[in-house]
Structure 1
Amino acid sequence: MSEQSVPPLNWLRAFEASARLLSFTKAAQELNMSQSAVSQQMRSLESYLGQVLFLRGPRVLKLTEVGRNYLPVVQQALAGLSRGTRALSNKNKKKSLTIQCNLAFSMFWLAPRLQSFQHQNPWITVRILSELWPPMATEENADVEIRFGYRLEDKLGVQRLFNDTCFPVCSPDILEAVQTDWTLFDLYDCSGMQGDWEAWFAGTGKHPQDDKPINYASTFGVSLSMAMYGAGLSMANETFSQALIDRGLLARPFEESIPMPESHYLIHNHDRPESEATRIFKAWLETQTKASWTKT
């Protein structure tokens, strides 16, 4: 037997049933097979393993020590296979929800709130598909997509979720020093944003030292982490940073903010029928994002 090979699955299922029931006949009934077929599969399995698994008597079937040790191994393997299959199966579509969103949104906005959603809807199983870069299309298996972009309502006719602002943030550990002279600190931003440091300088009249370089990261997950660890100031948006500010992980050294041109948009996957779980999530999402539009 190869060290990397495993016996055929039908042999393992027959062994698990026979060992659990201690009867080839009962195992055959459970598996909808003939008794002789189960008995033959067990002999094939024993030959494959080079080990005797059963002690066979005229009216009794017992496990050998090898068989007793092998049974929980097989049961755990079959249970893991069953769990993995259920996770991919369409049988629980109404109870599952697949959300597609970028990595920063899943980390900084969705994760702090998802516990509340699942507490209200414990019967819904959530699966999150996260990308580093904005996708060009909704994943086939996604029920809904939350996509980051600029004026997508004009291009795709989708729902804008946030009326967002952007502003600098830093670690609370350096807040006092930043407020004393922020121009001494390094600046960080997420690349490709219209609501960036240059826009904030123009909108607020604040300016750094001449030729002050701005360091860029490809995701807010990195640029905001630089601020949290005290590396300097990072340009942030309210959607991603507010939960971190509330928890005392970030601080706002200035009151000034500017409108953020980009936003997140809710995109419906019209190739999938809308399930009850999807409808509930959309209603919850609307409630959670409403505050963004009512703030002064």
Structure 2
Amino acid sequence: MSTPALPPLTWLRAFEAAARHLSFTAAATELHLTQSAISQHVRSLESFLGKPMFVRHTRALSLTEDGANYLPAVREAFNVLAAGAQPFVGRGGDAQRTRAVTLQCSMGFAVLRLTPRLGALASAHPKLRLNIVTPVWDPEKTAQMADVEIRFTRPEGFGQDGLRLTQERAFPVCTAALAERIQNGEPWHELPLFDCVGVLSSWQSWLLAHEGSREPVLPLKVHMSSTFAISIGAALAGEGLAMAHDGLVGEALADGRLVRPFKTSVDMSECYALYEPANHMRSWASQALTEWLIAEFADPDVFQLRAEEPGREGPG
């Protein structure tokens, strides 16, 4: 008998708290998350279910009929889970033990996306201890020690075990101060430009979309790095413009540390995919981390897609 598809518990916790408070802000405070994270979890759940759970008013929330009907089932499920765990809590059982889990991901993903959310992970799973491994060009050497892996790869590289999380778009980013200089007439192409090697959607492909030229020509001052952590770090420091993508700079754009000086973006050949190595025995810790990663980072419109053929991993 196959197990039915279930939404991640993180989405359900966000929905239950928001429904109880009728407020994303109050739910965020209770769960030690940001308001935008609660909103995203609820939107992901709604996309998974195919129905809206809330009516969004200007300053308030109310449950839809579907949301009101679903809420008792969610609460009952949490009660059953809590009751099932009760015999182990306080008696030295597995639920009381801190468990380590190892995640392998790119340096860029670790620095720019994962570390700002470590507090939320600790709040959601206080008994989980996360080890992070960040290889640059030879992930196979460290993959054997990882329980879970996030790769920046191309769809043909998913294999049988890959779970697609995102669809990425590439675009330049810089600081607001530098963008203002560009808007005031300073030639942007004479500024230092930063990019990451090994990625198909680069400055060249973006310039083709931006200017419509058949043979776009870039200046020689394109500084290449082996990881987006370096190139985007240069943009954050105000050193120039970096080619970036949604999966790495969402928070920096949201809080104003970076801006997009141009509207043009191009679809990338690469995306983020999640793996659980077949040779690893799944533990509650790896299962909890997998569900949390899906809830935090997966685009609900694409995260269930899989591909078939092996391929090459990018630097991320």
* TM-score class, shorter: 0.5 to 0.7
Over 3 Å counting, the alpha-carbon distance change for 1:132 and 1:148 in structure 2 is same
Q: How much has 1:122 moved relative to structure 2?
A: 0.6
Asked if residue 121 in structure 1 is aligned to residue 122 in structure 2, the reply is no
Asked whether the equivalents of residues 192 and 239 of structure 2 are also in contact (C-alpha less than 8 Å), the reply is yes
Question: Paired residues, what number?
Answer: 203
Shift of 1:152: 4.3
TM-score of the superposed pair, with normalisation by structure 1: 0.62
CA distance in 2, matches of 1:133, 1:224: 18
Give the whole-Å Cα distance in 2 for the aligned partners of 1:292 and 1:184. 39
**Equivalent residue number for residue 218 of structure 1:** 226
* Paired AA for residue 164 in structure 2: R
- CA distance, structure 1, for counterparts of residue 206 and residue 138 of structure 2: 23
* Greater per-residue helix proportion: 1
Deviations 1:270-296 (A, max 9, x none): 2121001111111111112234748xx
Q: What corresponds to 2:268 in structure 1?
A: 260
Which of the numbers 148, 162, 169 marks the counterpart of 1:165?
Answer: 169
Q: Which 5+ residue runs of structure 1 have no aligned equivalent?
A: 1-91
Uncovered stretches (5+) of structure 2, i.e. residues with no partner: 1-95, 303-316
For the Cα contact (< 8 Å) 1:165–1:238, is it kept in 2? Answer: yes
Q: Measure how far apart 1:256 and its partner are.
A: 1.4
Amino acid at match of 2:188: W
2: CA distance, partners of 1:137 / 1:209: 38
Distance 1:119 1:154, change over 3 A: closer
How far off is 1:203 after superposition? 2.2
Alpha carbons of structure 1 residues 233 and 159: separation in structure 2 relative to 1, 3 Å: same
Change (3 A) 1:111 1:206: farther
Alignment counterpart, residue 101 of structure 2, candidates 97, 115, 118: 97
For 2:194, the equivalent position in structure 1 comes to: 188
Which of the numbers 226, 229, 239 marks the counterpart of 1:231? Answer: 239
Question: Relative to structure 1, is the Cα distance of residues 211 and 265 closer, same or farther in structure 2, using a 3 angstrom cutoff?
Answer: closer
Larger RCO: 1 or 2 (CA < 8 Å, sep 6+) = 2
Q: In the TM superposition, what whole-angstrom CA distance separates every residue of 1:160-206 from its partner, at most 9, and x where no partner exists?
A: 11111110001122111123332331211001110111111122326
User: Are the aligned partners of 1:195 and 1:259 in contact in 2 as well (CA < 8 Å)?
Assistant: yes
CA distance in 2, matches of 1:262, 1:172: 27
What aligned pairs does 1:272-291 form with structure 2 within 5 A after superposition?
Answer: 272-291=280-299
> Aligned letter for 1:100?
Q
2:250 aligns with 242
AA aligned to 2:166 is F
Match of 1:144 in 2: 148
Structure 2: distance between partners of 1:121 and 1:99: 15
In 1: Cα distance, 2:176 partner to 2:151 partner:
31
CA distance 1:211–1:258, change in 2 (3 Å): closer
Q: 1:147 to 1:154 in 2, by over 3 A?
A: closer
The 1:171–1:130 alpha-carbon spacing in structure 2 relative to 1, beyond 3 Å, is same
Which residue pairs with 1:111 in the alignment?
115
Contact kept? 1:169, 1:250, Cα under 8 Å: yes
Sort the Cα spacing of 1:171 and 1:270 in 2 relative to 1 into closer, same or farther, 3 A.
same
What RMSD, in angstroms, separates the aligned Cα atoms of the two structures? 2.5
Task: Label 1:184 to 1:153 Cα distance change in 2 as closer, same or farther (>3 A).
Answer: closer
